[in-house]
């Protein structure tokens, strides 16, 4: 199994989307790329911690490749939007790809250059090492499953063409 941490706006929608895909064995939501250990949702949302909301995705690379994960990620977020996705705005909604294995960085960057072509220079998605992913509180895990009418900037229907089962 491989893992990757994806920050693409509100973490509830990113998690709900990836939970629908074949080859995804586990997801969780949390905070990454910040200035303190184990921040809270309150701290992140109020600027008391500098983290981004993110979703950790554990996937079976025999079923879905890193490129497949990236394709899905870019399907559900705006890579040109700085600190904003959907109706959510602020530093905690910045976009990023956080890698456990930095040897994958050239692959991610090559994929992005190919995927975005002449628009690559406009992409604001950072590709960095995952140094500090911290789980969010329990009430945020599988939030949209527990609250099916909760707000979500992600079009969850986009995953239907690649349904899990």
- 10, 45, 55, 152: which is the annotated catalytic residue? 10
Burial grade of 62 (CB within 10 A; 0-12, 13-18, 19 or more):
exposed
Is 10 annotated as catalytic?
Answer: yes
Report, in angstroms and rounded to the nearest whole number, the Rg of the chain calculated over CA atoms. Answer: 15
- Joined together, the tokens standing for residue 132 give 């500090």
- Joined together, the tokens standing for residue 73 give 């990620």
- Joined together, the tokens standing for residue 97 give 């790809």
Report the interhelical angle of 11-18 vs 66-75 (nearest 10°).
130
Burial grade of 37 (CB within 10 A; 0-12, 13-18, 19 or more):
exposed
Residues with active-site annotation: 10
């Amino acid at each position: 199994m491989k893992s990757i941490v994806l920050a693409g706006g509100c973490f509830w929608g990113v998690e709900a989307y990836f939970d629908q895909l074949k080859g995804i064995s586990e997801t969780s939501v949390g905070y990454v790329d910040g200035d303190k250990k184990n921040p809270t949702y309150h701290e992140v949302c109020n600027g008391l911690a500098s983290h981004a909301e993110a979703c950790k995705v554990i996937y079976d690379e025999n079923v879905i490749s890193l490129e497949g994960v990236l394709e899905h990620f870019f399907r559900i977020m705006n890579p040109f939007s700085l600190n904003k996705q959907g109706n959510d705005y602020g530093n905690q909604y910045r976009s990023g790809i956080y890698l456990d294995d930095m040897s994958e960085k050239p692959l991610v960057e090559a994929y992005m250059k190919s995927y975005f072509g002449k628009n690559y220079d406009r992409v604001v998605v950072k590709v960095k090492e995952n140094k500090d992913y911290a789980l969010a509180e329990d009430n945020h895990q599988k939030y949209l499953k527990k609250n099916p009418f909760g707000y979500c900037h992600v079009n969850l229907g986009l995953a239907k063409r690649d349904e899990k089962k």
